[in-house]
C-alpha cells in the first residue's frame, strides 16, 4: 500500500475479488433498510392532530373493533426510511435509462411546480363549473394542442393510462360497428404488438388474430389484406412499431382496413418519434391513444400515474366517452352524462371524474416550453440519437431485421451472443454494474433475445459515446469468453439477482408478524 510520510495511505488498497462482509450488511452509502412494519410501532405517529371535540357517534354501532395493525413512524423516521429506500432506485435523474418503448426522457421540474399550483392541485372535480373555468380552459387548450399535433377530429382526455386509452378507442370502434348494426368478431394485431393490445381486444370480447411481420420487421399491406374480412372490426397497429421502425405501407394499410369496413386503431406509445414530422390523421388513423407520460414527459413515478388521452377521426368521434369539455357561450362546461351529449352517442364512461388533471397540467407545461419548434426538434433528436447508437454498434451487435434506419429506438437481438454462454438477461445485468439502466429486454417477442434501446432526446452526445463504449466493451468480452462477468452480474447493485421463481411459487405478498418471526430465526 502506498503511504505518505505520515503513514497515511494515499491510495486505496486493492480489495481483490471478494469484499469482506460488514457487521451490519451495510456498504457505506448502501444501507440496509428494514420494512416499515419492523421499525414502526402502533403507538408512534408522525402527525400532531388535535383531540376531537366531544360528539355522539353516528357510526350506527359499526365502530372498528381492535387495532388496524398499521405501524406508524415519527416524522424523522419517515424521512430517513423513505430517503434510504429511494437510494436503492435507479432513475432518469441519476443516469442513462435507455428502456425501449418507455421513453425515459428528462422530467422538467417546472411541470411539477405548475401541477401543484393550488388552482390546479387543490380543486375538487365536482366543484360548480364556474369555480373551475381555468381548469376547463386548460383541458380545452390541451385538446387543441393534441389535435393540432395529430390532425384528428376530437379527443377524449379521460383515459388514465395507455392501456385504458386502448380500451377507450376500441370500445368506441365497437360502438361504431354496433351503431351500424354490424357484429364483427375479430381484431387484427401484429405479433410485435405490446401485450396490452391483444388484452384490450379480448376484454371487449374480440378474437385476436396475429399478423406476422415480414423480413424487414414491418407489416405488409398484402398480409393485412389477406387477414381482412367482414368479420374484422379493426386493427391495432403500433406506429412507429415496437421494432423501432416506421410502417412504410401505413397509408395503404389504412385504406385496405377502411375498404373492409373496419377501423384503424393506432397504438400511440411511440408517437414521440414523429411529433411535428407526421400526423396520424393524415395516415388514415381512426383512434390513437397518446401516453402523456411518454411523449410529453410526465414522470413515470416508479409505475405511474400515466395518462392516455385518445384522439379520434370524424367517423369514430361521435362514440367517444363522457366526460368532455364543450364551449358554452362565453364559458366552458363539462358534458358528464350520455344524455347531455346532443347528437353524439358516447359509448359510456370509463372512470370517475374527468381524467388525470395533474398530468394534463404537466403536459401543457411541457408543450408550452417546447413549442411547435421544440417538439419537432425533440422528435428529431430522439431519432438521431437512436440512429447514432445503431451506426456505432452495428459492427459488434446484431439487428434482427438487418441494418436499416430506425426511428426513436433501435432493436438488437442476441445473435451476437451465440455460443458465448451469455444471454440477453446476463448482458443487461452487466450493464447495471457499469452504471446504466438496461434496455428493454425480451420485447418485442418477434426478435430472439430482444434488446430494445431508446436513448430519447435528453442525452448528450458524450453520454451516448460512453454508453457505446460500454456496449462495445461488453460485446467484446462476451465474444472473448468472459461469460463470468455477465452471469455473476450485477455485483455492485443493492441486490444480486433475485429469485423470481421462488417469488411466484410461494407468493409472499405482504408482511405478517409470522414472516417477521421467521426472518429473525
Partner 1 sequence: MRYLPHTSGDRAAMLSAIGVGSMDDLFADIPEAVRLKEPPDLPRHAGEQEVERQLSALANRNVAASSTPFFIGCGAYKHHVPATVDHLIQRSEFLTAYTPYQPEIAQGTLQVLFEFQTQVALLTGMEMANASMYDGSTGCGEAVLMAHRLTRRSKAILSGGLHPHYRAVVETLSRMSGAEAVARGARPEEAGSSDIAAAIDEDTSCVVVQNPDFFGRLRDLTELAEAAHAKGALLIVVVTEVVSLGAVQPPGSMGADIVVAEGQSIGNGLNFGGPYVGLFATRQKFTRQMPGRVCGETVDADGRRGFVLTLSTREQHIRREKATSNICTNSGLCALAFTIHLSLLGDAGLKRLAALNHASAVALADALSSISGVEILTSTFFNEFTIRVPGDASDVIDALVEKGVLGGVPVSRLLPGSHKDLIVVAATEANRAEDREAYVKALREVLA
One of 9, 26, 110, 418 touching partner 1 (CB under 8 A) = 110
Question: CB–CB of 436/421 below 8 Å?
Answer: no
One of 301, 402, 421, 481 touching partner 1 (CB under 8 A) = 301
Residues 162-191 that bind partner 1 (CB under 8 A): 162-164, 166-167, 171, 174-175
One of 116, 214, 448, 476 touching partner 1 (CB under 8 A) = 116
Give 75 or 222: the residue with its C-beta nearer to partner 1. 75
Q: Residue 466: which H helix or E strand, with range? A: helix 461-479
Residues 329-358 that bind partner 1 (CB under 8 A): 336-337, 339-340, 347-358
Angstrom distances, CA of residue 402 to CA of 73, 184, 413: 56, 37, 11
Give 3 or 496: the residue with its C-beta nearer to partner 1. 496
Give me the 191-220 binding string for partner 1, x by CB under 8 A, dash otherwise: ---xxx-xxxxxxxx--x------------
One of 9, 121, 212, 402 touching partner 1 (CB under 8 A) = 121
Angstrom distances, CA of residue 484 to CA of 167, 429, 430: 45, 12, 10
Give 434 or 482: the residue with its C-beta nearer to partner 1. 434
Residues 265-284 that bind partner 1 (CB under 8 A): 274, 276-279, 282-283
Burial of 249 (0-12, 13-18, 19+ CB in 10 A): middle
Asked if residue 289 binds partner 1 (CB under 8 A), the reply is: no
How far apart (Å, rounded) are the C-alpha atoms in residues 136 and 139? 5
How far apart (Å, rounded) are the C-alpha atoms in residues 253 and 176? 20
Question: CB–CB of 236/202 below 8 Å?
Answer: no
How far apart (Å, rounded) are the C-alpha atoms in residues 431 and 433? 5
* Shortest distance, position 178 Cβ to partner 1, whole Å: 9
Work out the angle between the directed axes of helices 461-479 and 357-393 (0-180°, nearest 10).
50
Q: Residue 207: which H helix or E strand, with range? A: strand 207-211
User: Helix, strand, or coil here: 421?
Assistant: coil
* Shortest distance, position 279 Cβ to partner 1, whole Å: 7
Question: CB–CB of 316/172 below 8 Å?
Answer: yes
Stretch that binds partner 1, among 5-13, 113-121, 227-235, 311-319 (CB under 8 A): 113-121
Give 310 or 365: the residue with its C-beta nearer to partner 1. 365
Q: In sequence order, which residues have a C-beta less than 8 Å from that of residue 343 and are 6 or more positions away?
A: 318
Give 321 or 400: the residue with its C-beta nearer to partner 1. 321
* Shortest distance, position 11 Cβ to partner 1, whole Å: 28
Size of the site for partner 1 (CB under 8 A): 209
* Shortest distance, position 17 Cβ to partner 1, whole Å: 14
128 phi/psi in degrees, rounded to 5: -55, 140
342 phi/psi in degrees, rounded to 5: 65, -130
Q: Return the number of other C-beta atoms located less than 10 Å from residue 128's C-beta.
A: 7
Residues 32-91 that bind partner 1 (CB under 8 A): 33, 35-37, 40-47, 49-50, 52-65, 67-73, 75, 78-79, 81-83, 85-91
Residue with cell 368532455: 324
Residues 431-490 that bind partner 1 (CB under 8 A): 432, 437-438, 440, 443, 457-461, 490
One of 316, 411, 413, 429 touching partner 1 (CB under 8 A) = 429
Residues 216-235 that bind partner 1 (CB under 8 A): none
Give me the 384-403 binding string for partner 1, x by CB under 8 A, dash otherwise: xx-xx-xxx-----------
C-alpha cell at 495: 441486490
One of 256, 428, 451, 453 touching partner 1 (CB under 8 A) = 428
Task: For residue 286, give the nearest of 321, 311, 309, 268 by alpha carbon.
Answer: 311
One of 221, 243, 361, 393 touching partner 1 (CB under 8 A) = 361
Question: CB–CB of 285/255 below 8 Å?
Answer: no
Give 3 or 32: the residue with its C-beta nearer to partner 1. 32
Residues 9-28 that bind partner 1 (CB under 8 A): 25
Name the DSSP letter for residue 342. Answer: T
Amino acid at each position: 500500500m502506498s503511504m505518505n510520510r505520515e503513514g497515511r495511505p494515499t491510495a486505496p488498497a486493492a480489495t481483490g475479488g471478494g469484499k469482506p462482509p460488514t457487521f451490519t450488511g451495510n456498504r457505506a452509502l448502501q444501507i440496509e433498510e428494514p420494512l416499515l412494519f419492523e421499525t414502526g410501532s402502533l403507538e408512534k405517529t408522525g402527525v400532531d392532530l388535535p383531540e376531537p371535540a366531544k360528539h355522539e357517534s353516528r357510526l350506527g354501532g359499526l365502530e372498528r373493533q381492535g387495532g388496524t395493525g398499521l405501524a406508524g413512524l415519527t416524522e424523522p423516521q419517515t424521512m430517513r426510511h423513505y430517503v434510504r429506500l429511494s437510494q436503492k432506485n435507479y432513475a432518469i435523474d441519476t443516469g442513462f435509462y435507455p428502456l425501449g418503448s418507455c421513453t425515459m426522457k428528462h422530467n422538467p421540474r417546472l411541470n411539477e411546480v405548475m401541477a401543484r399550483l393550488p388552482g390546479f392541485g387543490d380543486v375538487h372535480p365536482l366543484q360548480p363549473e364556474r369555480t373551475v373555468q381555468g381548469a376547463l380552459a386548460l383541458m380545452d387548450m390541451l385538446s387543441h394542442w393534441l389535435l393540432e399535433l395529430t390532425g384528428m377530429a376530437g379527443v377524449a382526455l379521460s383515459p388514465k393510462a395507455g392501456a385504458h386509452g386502448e380500451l377507450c378507442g376500441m370500445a368506441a370502434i365497437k360502438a361504431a360497428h354496433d351503431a351500424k348494426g354490424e357484429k364483427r368478431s375479430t381484431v387484427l394485431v401484429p405479433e410485435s404488438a405490446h401485450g396490452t393490445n391483444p388484452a384490450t381486444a379480448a376484454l371487449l370480447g374480440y378474437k385476436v388474430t396475429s399478423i406476422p411481420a415480414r423480413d424487414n420487421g414491418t407489416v405488409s399491406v398484402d398480409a393485412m389484406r389477406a387477414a381482412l374480412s367482414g368479420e374484422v372490426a379493426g386493427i391495432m397497429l403500433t406506429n412507429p412499431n415496437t421494432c423501432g421502425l416506421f410502417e412504410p405501407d401505413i397509408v395503404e394499410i389504412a385504406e385496405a382496413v377502411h375498404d373492409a369496413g373496419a377501423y384503424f386503431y393506432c397504438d400511440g406509445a411511440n408517437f414521440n418519434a414523429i411529433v411535428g414530422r407526421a400526423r396520424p390523421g393524415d395516415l388514415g388513423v381512426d383512434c390513437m391513444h397518446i401516453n402523456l407520460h411518454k411523449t410529453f414527459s410526465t414522470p413515470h413515478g416508479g409505475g405511474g400515474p400515466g395518462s392516455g388521452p385518445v384522439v379520434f377521426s370524424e367517423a369514430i368521434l361521435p362514440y367517444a366517452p363522457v366526460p368532455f369539455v364543450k364551449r358554452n357561450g362565453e364559458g366552458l362546461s363539462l358534458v358528464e352524462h350520455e344524455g347531455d351529449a346532443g347528437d353524439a352517442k358516447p359509448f359510456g364512461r370509463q372512470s370517475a371524474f374527468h381524467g388525470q388533471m395533474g398530468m394534463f397540467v404537466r403536459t401543457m407545461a411541457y408543450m408550452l416550453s417546447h413549442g411547435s419548434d421544440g417538439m419537432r426538434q425533440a422528435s428529431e433528436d430522439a431519432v438521431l440519437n437512436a440512429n447514432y447508437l445503431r451506426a456505432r454498434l452495428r459492427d459488434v451487435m446484431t439487428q434482427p431485421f438487418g441494418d436499416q434506419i430506425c426511428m426513436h429506438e433501435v432493436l438488437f437481438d442476441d445473435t451476437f451472443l451465440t455460443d458465448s454462454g451469455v444471454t440477453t438477461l446476463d448482458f443487461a445485468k452487466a450493464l447495471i454494474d457499469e452504471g446504466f439502466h438496461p434496455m428493454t429486454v425480451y420485447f418485442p417477442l418477434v426478435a430472439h433475445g430482444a434488446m430494445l434501446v431508446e436513448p430519447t432526446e435528453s442525452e448528450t452526445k458524450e453520454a451516448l459515446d460512453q454508453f457505446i463504449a460500454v456496449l462495445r466493451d461488453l460485446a467484446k468480452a462476451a465474444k472473448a469468453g468472459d461469460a463470468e462477468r455477465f452471469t455473476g452480474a450485477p455485483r455492485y447493485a443493492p441486490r444480486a439477482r433475485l429469485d423470481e421463481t421462488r417469488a411466484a411459487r410461494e407468493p409472499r405478498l405482504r408482511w405478517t408478524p409470522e414472516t417477521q418471526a421467521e426472518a429473525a430465526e
